[in-house]
Amino acid sequence: MRTLLSICLLFFASISIAQISEHIHVDQFGYLPDADKVAVLSDPQTGYNSGLSYSPGPMLELRDYVTDEVIFSAAPTEWNNGDTHTQSGDQGWWFDFSSISDEGTYYIFDADNDASSAPFKINDNPYSQVLDAATKMFYYNRCNDEKEAQYVPNGFADGMNFQNALQDGQCRYVNDQGNASLEKDLTGGWFDAGDNNKYVTFAHDVIHNLVGAYEDNPTAFSDETNIPESNDGLADVLNELQWELDWLMKMSNPDGTAHIKMGNISYDDNASTPPSANTDPRYYGPECTAASIAIASMFSRAAIVFQNETGMSSYAQDLEDRAVLCWDHFITQFDNDELDFECDDGTIKSGDADWDYDKQYDAAVIASVYLFELTGDAEYEDFFLQYYQGSEQISGGYWGPYLMPLNEALLRYAASTGADADATSIINTSAYDAVNNNWEDFYLFTDADLYRSNVPDYMYSWGSTQVKSNLGNVIMLFHEYDIHPSLNDEMLTKAREHIHYMHGLNPMGLVLLSNMYSFGGDRCVDEIYHFWFDNNTPWDNVKEDDYGPAPGFLTGGPNYYYSADVTPPANQPPQKSYAQFNDGWPESSWEITEPAIYYQAAYVRLLSYFTNDTEITNTSNIQVNNNCVEIFPNPSNNIFTVSGLMDRYTITVLDAAGNIYETIDAASSEVMIDLGDLPAGAFFLSVENQDHESVCVQKMIKEN
């Protein structure tokens, strides 16, 4: 069983290290032993924090978090001769401790300024819990599914949603709303983003990234993330994929047509919190060729994975059969020059789910690769060979983050047994040239970015975290397919730095996932734009309200093109175009902090490359402070009484390996804990303030 380490294993910082500095930026979850490990030290010059200043001491120290022993010391290196980095508005330094690879928990200390970094781990699998939490975002975003208390932390249980009259189980056609004979059961699937609509075309990249993540590294994904299907023998990410695929089946028809989306017809409809509180009718949209080819592409890719899972062969066959039907319908329209381009008229709010000709063309090329792999039918390879050279990758040499499923399909075909030799040469040459030319420093590490994950300014746009994640995924595809072997190490470094950026190596010093304190984050996103976690609700802000948003939601990230006037994020350097807020129009926080299933899937895929099934059970960082609460009797053979000032505190019981046995939200000055069912031995009690500002740990002895 995977070890789930509590916040106490990382956060007793107040009893041993200086206050965490806003100027020392690290990956707050940790580093792989063989990775480059470079902290960024920042002195803001422009932007919202330009009033702060920092100059590091002549020597910095890497210290053991438990013993406070100095493990390594070195002088920081001034970045770019003291110039201001225009994307962040900061001057800075790098502190390189890459030579340290021993497993442990560490922090960086600047003695001259009495300043410390957040604590972080170095071990062979520092991101497993983070990946589990990020994957579980899809469970929180399930539509038409009750969130039972046993599967979620305290505060996030909710009843069934969108199953009232004329909602998802009795969904009506938007262009004939009074016609009861057209009602359909369209239950299932995920909320698309912070809103509660469901879109077929918007699921396309999500399915490809999640299936690809599992296919490339199945051991990264647990069957124990505590969702209803956990421990069923199928990785939980596949259970989530099935939840969405089952809904997509309902959106497709026996003739291969498919409805493009479903949801609300007014911005004010179904906008209540939590999801179970919504009762307004829901509607499905028209049949569109974009939806048909999207389903053909998604189902054919998913069928390849599910056919190899125990007990899933018939499900895989169903996916394949439906993919063929949708392909056949699309090709008929394609050959007759009758594709739909204005099928979504916006009556269902809000995203425009239509695809133009180029996007439908690309999806058909993608689908042809997977259908050919599934069926061996030459029809699909013939289509691919006729049309693949019209792709942007081949016609223009652009292998960018906006084309991930097509990038992968091209490389996959070229690497397949029996692939056309000319096509293979053309594809691989184009990919090689892209890496070799390294246009706009896409693929190789460069010191042009103070924060070490360089992308052009224009990529700090709406959903910049998805773009950064997918650029890392493109890099890892080139690495996986060995496109340019001599540059593999440089590509690996660049991809890892994109992960470090998401985990705190950015100008805000934020983990760009929500509420990750219980997974090792010290400074995390506390507020996001999401209907469930709405403004002025108990789920609004982690530190200011009862719960804040659920853990693991990746925000959209900095958006230099933010359209409103709130400063920040407006009027900031590109990397600082961010703020923690979730206000609606006209502040339009959704342009900055809204999560989305496609952002999430891109990040999950990138993180999965650097995650494995190695169990880390290091107990050396369980540290005890005996002055926070009173425990009596101690030792005891069953009942322990915990007494102290514990209102708005969370109590966690762990064994010596960090496995969590029980979590209690204290609302009084005394709590009874029964360990009668546990074996004799030492246990630890973590007492954490729910604002994540203080933690202490005490030992309990369980007798026979």
Question: 594-627: buried (b, 16+ CB within 10 Å) or exposed (e) per residue?
Answer: bbbbbbbbbbbbbbbbbbbeeebebeebbbebee
Question: What pLDDT score was predicted for residue 3?
Answer: 33
Question: 210-228: buried (b, 16+ CB within 10 Å) or exposed (e) per residue?
Answer: bbbbbebbbebbbbebbbe
Q: Give yes or no for a contact between 295 and 201, defined as CB atoms under 8 angstroms apart.
A: no
* Arch. (CATH architecture) of 630-702: Sandwich (2.60)
Question: What pLDDT score was predicted for residue 11?
Answer: 35
**How far is the CA of 370 from the CAs of 169, 310, 327, in angstroms?**
32, 21, 12
Q: Structure tokens of 665? A: 């939200």
Question: What pLDDT score was predicted for residue 693?
Answer: 52
Sign of CA dihedral 466, 472, 476, 477: positive
Query: How far apart are alpha carbons 581 and 600 in whole angstroms?
Result: 19
Q: Within the chain, which residues score under 70 in pLDDT?
A: 1-19, 617-628, 645-649, 656-659, 666-669, 689-696
**How far is the CA of 400 from the CAs of 378, 403, 433, 472, 474, in angstroms?**
29, 6, 13, 10, 7
pLDDT tens-digit readout, 245-261? 999 999 999 999 999 99
> Greatest CA span in the chain, whole angstroms?
81
Sign of CA dihedral 234, 235, 240, 242: negative
Question: What pLDDT score was predicted for residue 674?
Answer: 82
pTM to 2 decimals?
0.89
CATH match for 7-126+504-608 among 3.20.20.70, 3.40.50.150, 2.60.40.10, 2.40.50.100: 2.60.40.10
Query: How far apart are alpha carbons 98 and 500 in whole angstroms?
Result: 14
In this structure, are strands 283-284 and 172-173 parallel, antiparallel, or unpaired? parallel
C-alpha torsion angle, residues 263, 264, 269, 275 (rounded to 10):
0
Contacts 24+ apart (CB under 8 A), 375-382: 375/320, 375/324, 381/420
Q: Structure tokens of 330? A: 């699309």
Query: Would you give the distance in Å from CA 486 to the centre of its chain?
Result: 30
Query: How far apart are alpha carbons 264 and 281 in whole angstroms?
Result: 7
Question: What pLDDT score was predicted for residue 695?
Answer: 62
> ∠ CA 278-284-290 to the nearest 5 degrees?
130
Question: What pLDDT score was predicted for residue 618?
Answer: 46
Each domain of the chain, given as residue ranges in start order, spans 7-126+504-608, 630-702
